[in-house]
Amino acid sequence: MKHLTLSTVLTTSDYLPVVSQSKPPPHTYLDNRVTKSQTKHRRTRTRSQRARERLQTKEHLARLAVGINEGELADRINRCHSRLSVLTCGRHIARIIPNFTCEFRLCPDCGRRRSRKLQSKYLPMMRAFMLHHRVTPVHLVLTQTHRAETRKQSIKRIGDSFGKLQRRVFWKEHFKGGTWSLEFTKDKNGLHHTHLHIIGFRRRFFDIELLRGEWLAATGDSHVLNLKPIQDIATGLQEVVKYVSKPPDIRRFGAEDLREFLGLKNMRMFGTFGEFRGFCKGFDAADNEGAAMSELESLARDLVEGCACPQCDEPLFDLRMSGRELPQFYEQAESSPPGKARQVQH
Ligand SMILES: [Zn+2]
Ligand SMILES: [Zn+2]
C-alpha cells in the first residue's frame, strides 16, 4: 500500500511499500506550491526580462540603502556592472566582463557569479562522491512553522532543527551527507518563511512518512517537507544554488528588511554536511579530472575576440556597453532570426 500525499512528487520507485496508518497532513501542499511556482516563474522569463529585473532589483536596493544612510553601499551597487565588456557574435553572449563588482550578498549580478562559482566548485566533488559511495542525490526542502521572530531567529531555529535531525539514527542510516542552502521569504502576514534546500546523498530508499516523523521530532512542530529525486546532479545543484544567489522576494524588501539583513554579518547561505563535508576537504580536483567537468565554463574563459561563437560559429567581437543597455541587447538578440548574426551599433 502506498501513501501518496499532495506534497510528494516522487516517482513510485521512490517508495518502499510500507504500510502506514498515518494520514497525510492537511496542509502539506504549501511547500510544494512554493517551490513549483518559483521554478515556473524562472523558466517562463526571457534573458532580457531577467536582465531588466536584475537592474530594477539593484535600483531598488540602492534606493533602500540611501534611505537608511548607507550611501557607500548604494554607490557600490550603482557602480556594479555599470560598464560592461561583452564578448558576443551579435546573437549570443559568450562572456561578460564587468568594470566593477560590488560583492554585496543581495546583488543579483554578484549573486549569479557566486552561484556559478559554487556550481563549478561543488559539481566535480558531488560527481566523485556519488561514484565513490554509490549514493543517489535527492532534493529535500525542509520548512518550519511561521512565528513572530526576527530573520536571525528564524534562520537559527531552522539550523538548530536540522542539526537535531542529523543526529538522529534514522537520518544517519539513510543519508551520507550533502549540501544545504538557505532560502528566506516572508508570508503575507510579514512572518519569516525560512526553508532549507538540501541535496542529500541517500544511501537507501525510505518511506517519506518516516522522514516527516523525524522532522517533526527535530522541530517539535513541523512535519512539512518535500522530497524529490534528482535525475541530473548538474541541474539539481543549479536548482539549489539559485536560492543562494537571489532571495525571490528582494523587490518587496523594505528599508527595515535591508537594515536587518545588514545586521546578519557572516551569515552563511550555503554549506556542506555529513561525510560529504570531509570528502570536500580532502578532494583534489587535479586527481579527479574525470569528475571535474565544467566544460562550458573553461571553454568560455579561453575565448577571445575573433574566436568562433560556441553556439553558432559566427566570429565573436568585443562590445562595450553600459549595464543599462544589456536588457535591450538581449531583446535584439532574441528577436533576430536564428542562424543569422546581427551586428549591434553602439
Ligand atoms: Zn554586485
Ligand atoms: Zn553565436
pLDDT category of residue 51 using cuts at 50, 70 and 90: very high
Long-range Cβ contact pairs of 301-310 (< 8 A, separation 24 or more)? 301/95, 303/87, 303/94, 303/95, 304/87, 305/87, 307/94, 309/88, 309/89, 309/91, 309/92, 309/94, 309/341, 310/92, 310/94
**pLDDT given at position 300:** 66
**pLDDT given at position 269:** 85
Reported as a single tens digit per residue, the pLDDT across 15-27 is: 333 333 344 443 3
Q: Please report which ligand is nearest the Cα atom of 81.
A: 1
pLDDT category of residue 4 using cuts at 50, 70 and 90: very low
Neighbours of 182 (CB within 10 A): 19
Phi, psi torsion values for 245, nearest 5 degrees:
-85, -25
What single-letter DSSP state applies at residue 199?
E
Ligand 1: distance of its center to the CA of 105 in Å?
8
**pLDDT given at position 285:** 65
- What b-and-e string marks burial along 119-131, b requiring 16 or more CB atoms within 10 Å of the CB? bbebbbbbbbbbe
Question: In this model, does residue 344 exceed pLDDT 60?
Answer: no
Q: Please report which ligand is nearest the Cα atom of 112.
A: 1
Reported as a single tens digit per residue, the pLDDT across 90-105 is: 889 988 999 999 999 8
Q: In this structure, are strands 175-186 and 225-229 parallel, antiparallel, or unpaired?
A: unpaired
Question: In this model, does residue 296 exceed pLDDT 60?
Answer: no
Ligand 1: distance of its center to the CA of 107 in Å?
5
Can you tell me the mean pLDDT for 128-144?
Answer: 95
pLDDT category of residue 260 using cuts at 50, 70 and 90: confident
Phi, psi torsion values for 143, nearest 5 degrees:
-125, 165
Residues with CB in 5 Å of ion ligand 1: 80, 102, 107, 109-110
Ligand 1: distance of its center to the CA of 211 in Å?
39
Name which residue leads in pLDDT, 307 or 302.
307
Ligand 1: distance of its center to the CA of 45 in Å?
21
**pLDDT given at position 295:** 53
Q: Please report which ligand is nearest the Cα atom of 107.
A: 1
**pLDDT given at position 212:** 97
C-alpha cell at 302: 579561453
**pLDDT given at position 12:** 30
Ligand 2: distance of its center to the CA of 340 in Å?
8
Instruction: Looking at the chain, list the stretches that DSSP marks H as alpha helix, in order from N- to C-terminal side.
Output: 29-44, 47-67, 71-79, 108-133, 151-166, 169-174, 208-219, 233-245, 255-263, 274-282, 295-302, 326-335
Q: Please report which ligand is nearest the Cα atom of 99.
A: 1
pLDDT category of residue 198 using cuts at 50, 70 and 90: very high
Can you tell me the mean pLDDT for 25-42?
Answer: 42
Phi, psi torsion values for 68, nearest 5 degrees:
-110, 25
Which of 269, 246, 109 shows the shortest CA–CA distance to 197? 269
Question: In this model, does residue 3 exceed pLDDT 60?
Answer: no
Helix (H, G, I), strand (E, B) or coil at 227: strand
**pLDDT given at position 319:** 94
Number of C-alpha atoms within 13 angstroms, CB side, residue 60? 18
Can you tell me the mean pLDDT for 250-254?
Answer: 81
What single-letter DSSP state applies at residue 315?
B
Can you tell me the mean pLDDT for 32-51?
Answer: 63
Reported as a single tens digit per residue, the pLDDT across 199-250 is: 999 999 999 999 999 999 999 999 999 999 999 999 999 988 887 766 667 7
Average pLDDT in the chain: 82
- Minimum mean pLDDT range among 19-23, 105-109, 173-177: 19-23
Question: In this model, does residue 62 exceed pLDDT 50?
Answer: yes
Q: Please report which ligand is nearest the Cα atom of 57.
A: 1
**pLDDT given at position 183:** 86
Counting every residue written for the chain, the total comes to 346
**pLDDT given at position 1:** 38
Question: In this model, does residue 126 exceed pLDDT 90?
Answer: yes
- Minimum mean pLDDT range among 94-103, 284-293, 322-331: 284-293
State percent of the chain over pLDDT 70.
78
**pLDDT given at position 248:** 60
Q: Please report which ligand is nearest the Cα atom of 342.
A: 2
pLDDT category of residue 132 using cuts at 50, 70 and 90: very high
